Amino acid sequence: MSHHLFDADWHRLALAGRPEAIQMLADRTIVPLYRFCLYRLGMDEHACQDVVQETMLLALSRLDRYQPGRSNGRILPWLRGLARNQIRRVLSERKISSGQLSLSAGADLPAKDSPVSIPDIDGSPLDADSIGFCQTSGLVGATMSQLPVRYSGVLEDKYIKGRAVRDIAAGLGMTEKAVESLLVRARAAFKKVFTILSKRQPAAGNVPPVVAAKGAI
């Protein structure tokens, strides 16, 4: 899947209200946006659905503020920025207050050693109460929420859904060799981010239990 789909041409179509442009936005961003929000809302699926819906509606009303040239056609970071404001509002309403954990890979890793580009990993703080770092399954979910879509998607297909490489390749329009190479890079990225998050987990007594993730890698 291309990460430069939301370029100036798409932006013009979206601003004109073309249904295919709006549909593409939904098809390509709702799943990663949902994943981004879920672990920041303490695995509250209902709240997550509301935040994602509000974020998408807000994005559509502010499409003129999106700058495809500046973002290199990557709209997800812009959507995450909108979602963070909605998440803060929800957490504020719940009167949740706790220490913040920075998940920026760049703070711990030299750029030359990082298997993924720094802009692809969201560096915003995660609420300690929302994540529940005390269980590995929660850490897996938090890690997946930080990975670029192309990595998290292929890892989910292979290790959570159990799809064969040939089936993944057919679905992505790639060769099996290319998918295997993508999996190698995705696993390296997962390991790097997982290691960073595991080093930043708070004391076990300071966080609540988490809902177990559906699968682990």
Tell me the average pLDDT across 66-77.
91
pLDDT above 90 covers a percentage of the chain that reads: 29
Whole-number pLDDT of residue 133: 36
Structure tokens at 135: 């269980």
pLDDT confidence band for 200 (50 / 70 / 90): low
pLDDT confidence band for 201 (50 / 70 / 90): low
Q: Which domains does the chain have, with CATH numbers?
A: 1-97 (1.10.1740.10), 98-217 (1.10.10.10)
**Tens of pLDDT along 141-171?**
777 777 888 888 898 888 877 889 999 999 9
Name which residue leads in pLDDT, 39 or 82.
Answer: 82
Indicate if the pLDDT at residue 129 is higher than 70. Answer: no
Whole-number pLDDT of residue 183: 92
pLDDT above 70 covers a percentage of the chain that reads: 68
Contacts of 163 (CB under 8 A, 6+ apart): 157, 171
In whole angstroms, what is the distance from residue 125 CA to residue 127 CA? 7
Mean pLDDT of the chain: 73
Whole-number pLDDT of residue 4: 57
- Cα distances (angstroms) measured from residue 56 to each of 61, 80, 89: 9, 10, 16
pLDDT confidence band for 102 (50 / 70 / 90): very low
Tell me the average pLDDT across 74-98.
82
